[in-house]
Structure formats: C-alpha cells, structure tokens
A and B are shown apart, each in its own frame.
Chain A
Amino acid sequence: MNSFTFTQATAVADAVQANAAHDDAAYIGGGTNLIDLMKENVARPTHLIGLKKLGLDAIENLPDGGLRLGALATNADTAWHPEVEKRYPLLNQAILAGASPQLRNMATDGGNLMQRTRCYYFYDLATPCNKREPGSGCSAIGGYNRVCGILGTSDQCIATHPSDMCVALAALDTTVRVSGPNGERTIKFEDFHRLPGDQPERDNTLEPGELITGLDLPAKGFEKNFSYLKLRDRTSYAFALVSVAAALELDGDTIKDARLALGGVAHKPWRDKEAEAMLVGQPATADTFRRVAAKVLAPAKGYGANTFKIELAKRAIVRALKQATEMNQLVDTDAFQNSNP
C-alpha cells in the first residue's frame, strides 16, 4: 500500500471536484474492496475521497412508485429496509446472499456496483493479467479459471463481476444515477457494466471522475414470484459459482412477464432478453424452464476448470424459475441456512 491523502467530501460537487483535482484519485465508500486492493498493490490511488458525509445514504420512495437507493446506503440497510423487504424481496435476498454481515454493514450500494473481479490472477501481482496490467496477458485462460466466466468472455479476459446485489438490480431494470465533471446523467443498469472485449481494464461505462449518487428502482418489484438462487463452494461467505435472479409475473399458470439475470458467469450481470421473451405466454413448467435455460447457455464457452458452470447454470435457471413459480424456497441452501441462523 502506498501513501495517500484523504478528503472527506460533504457535497457531491466537492467530491467530483476533488477527484478532478488529483491524478490517481479514488472515491471510497465502505472500503471493503478498495482497501484490500490497495493492500495488495492492485490499486494505488494517491488521494482518497470519502463519501460517507455526502448525505447520500437515504432510501426514499419516488413519485412514480419506484424507490431510490442512495449510493452511500449500506448493503445491510438496503436489504433490511422495509420498502425493499416488502416491494423488492428479490433484492433483499440477493444482498443477503453476499459477503458476510460484517461486510454488508460496511459496504455501500455504489461500491457494490464498482467492486472488482475476484479472479485470482487479478489479485496476484506475480502473474500476468490484462485487467490489472493491459497487454500483459490473461492468466486465467489456460489456468485456474474455476471462478471465471462462460458468457460474453473475450480472448483478453474471462473475469466475472462478482456481485450478488447487481444481479437483482439488473433483473429489476434499475437506473444508475451519476454525477461527474460534465454534470449529471443516468445509465440503464444493463449498460452500466460492460463486457471485457479488448478493454478488460474497464469494468463499466462510468467516465473518469464520475460518481454514483443513487440507484432508482422502477415500481415493478415482482414481489409475488421471485427467487435468488446462489450456488457456491460453501453455504455462506463465498462468491457465487453461479447465481440466478428470477422474477415472474404469473396469470394462473401462464407467465405474463419475466426477468432472468445470472451472476458468476460473465463480466456483467447476464441478462438475455430473448430468453425472457421466450418465457412470456408460456406455462410455468419445468419444460419451459429447461428450454429457456438451454437458450441462455447456448452461447456459453467453458475454459476447463469452469466448464461445469454451463451445466450448473442450466440447472440453476430451471430451479430458480421453479422456486419463483412455487414460492416454496425452502430447498437446499436456503433451508440449511435458515435452520442455522
């Protein structure tokens, strides 16, 4: 870790300005990812801008029936907020499937979007990594890529975005609000994170110096039929091998509207709108779900240690959609987790 200076910003404009005024500045939310990256010398900012005093930690109803999450609201406060629990239980489940209570108490919603990949090589300076050091090569290809992606990968990088929360945010069609040197703008969630392509060092479409100020959830929360299913190497405190956010609107047995997003498989929360469209008008049966799962995974590519994710993701999609339909989620991981508070 290198030496750095620190500003505690109290207004968004000041924060943005402080960022512009320094080379190698970084915003810091809960610090749960950034500080680790600094200790490993993966991130070497020389100036940190604290955001906790920006007053952006509120969670408020919007006039259009939606809900605004302040970028500095903690993951824990967000998950347990009564409006989130009631209207966006999918988001509640996704957040609580991530990290640990201690981390969720520190981590902020803005930081969650911005967290970096958990690819082993990205964290280890002794190995080449295009994301960390563009042009140095991708060690995960041909290496230990169990945690890496199977969809939307490139020959430059096969990393995944590790967030659980973002998978639900993607499924819910969230809008990201940002402020930057050129003023304010909004970004559709699906456009926020990007695929690695030939610029794996870029995780998202934020411009330099831009600050996330909030996340707007639309009114529709799919609170009746939803499921967040996370499969991982242990029951808690592990990143997803594969996760699925499934949300359905049902009319009897028929699917009226559907959302499906995958985590742990791509450089961004993976949504396949064609697959979602395939669900609409169909009966909510295992057969339908299997066809959709096959469609989602059709373009998938395995890299050896992670090839199993293709089959696992298919099964997870079928299960998540089934759980969302039946709303009897007390199977497997959740059941065991609940029996063990």
Chain B
Amino acid sequence: MTLNLTLKVWRQDGPRDAGRFETYEANAVSEDISFLELLDVVNEDLVAQNREPIAFDHDCREGICGMCGVMINGQPHGPLRGTTTCQLHLRHFKDGDTVVVEPWRAAAFPIIRDLVVNRTAFDRIVMAGGYVTAPTGAAQDANNIPVPKANADLAMDAAACIGCGACVAACPNGAAQLFTSAKVAHLGLLPQGQPERWSRVNAMVQRMEEHFGSCTNHRECEAACPKEISIDFIARLNRDYLKAQFKDRRQLLRATDVASEE
C-alpha cells in the first residue's frame, strides 16, 4: 500500500532567523515506512533538486534515545499514543492527508535549525540533583538492600523517560514537570535514593523553574509522552517538594545559619 501526502514543514535557517512553512509533496510512499523515513524520502528529493534537506534530530530510530521528536499535526510525536516520531508509521495516515510538521516550541528549547531544538535545559535539571551520589568503587553487594518488587517496578516506570521533550512541547504552559518528576520519582522510590531525596527535589525543582513554565495540571504531557509516564509522578513530586521544606536538612541547616548570622 502506498500513500500520497502533502507536508507542510517548518524551515528555519538558524536560531535567529525567521522561519516559514514550506510545502512538499510525498508521492507513492509505502505505508510501512516510518515518519522519519518519510522525511528521508523528502530530503532525497530536495537534494536531487539542489535544495537543502530538512534538518531533524534522530539517532536510534527505535524509540529509546529520545533524540527525535517533532509536532505532527499539532501533536508531539503525532497522533499515535505512546509512540515516538521514529516509531510512527505511515499506516496511521490516510492517502491525501496534509501533515503539518513543526519543532518543539519553548523558551528553554531554542530552535537551532528547521526541526532541531536545543534541549540542554533537561541536562541542567539532571545536573542539579538527578543522581545518586555513589562514586565508583564505593558500592556494597547489590543484594544487600532488598527492594520490594512493586517499588522497583514503579521506579522503572518512572525511569523509562527518554528525555525527548514531548511533555514540554505538549504542555500549554511549557512546563517540564513530567520530565523532572519522573527522575525524582525513580530515585525517590529506591532505597539508594533516600539520603538525597529531599535535597534532590529542592534542587531539581529550583533548576527546572529557571527554564520552564509551571504545571497547572492540564495532563497534556501524559497524553503526549511516548513512554506513557503517569502524572501520578507529578503529584509525587509536589508531595516530596512540600515535605522537603521540612525535611531537607541541608536547607534547614542553612536556615539556622542564617538565623544565627542575623
């Protein structure tokens, strides 16, 4: 089975340039190819016509690296639930469809070129505290601390995040709550993550808010997430953040320092 599609693709030469939609026809493409392969096909055509190909990010093409991701007809990663752009196949489109393709839009994700954005802000959130401090060599035997299977499974649900940015792209507020909460929950659910639990959530929330909008519980992120990560983790983040105000010893110590200085 083949299809004919009309693509309206956002083209932008550089971070500071104005962009525009350009229209391309993709004729008789197989319904078995993925959306990125469709862009490959369009790009081959463009190159043949001596026009510069569309820049888009991708790497694994297996839905795991989180590199790909564009707005397809107004939805991050397109219409199919729980799917990355690279795993979206054309059989989910109809012959004759017009497909609008646009990059993620958020202040924290500035456009580099065409459909490519800079997602370094996500790395910065992790830098602030998205880890367990466990220098190499210091570990005890892995089976010394049992972890209830249910907790480990839930932690894995949260850890499945691929950092693609669809949650931010989907959020009407440009918030990164789902991304941040997934990491906070993953580590917070495991015994290994407990010592830094409260300082972690404080630091990560603070860093997140330097870049992103605020969560007002629209639930768009959950619907857009290719790994179907639940907003329950956002509730958990909020709860941990509230508790951290009373439990983050690092901050409490600082509070007493401040008091004694004054």
A, B bound: no
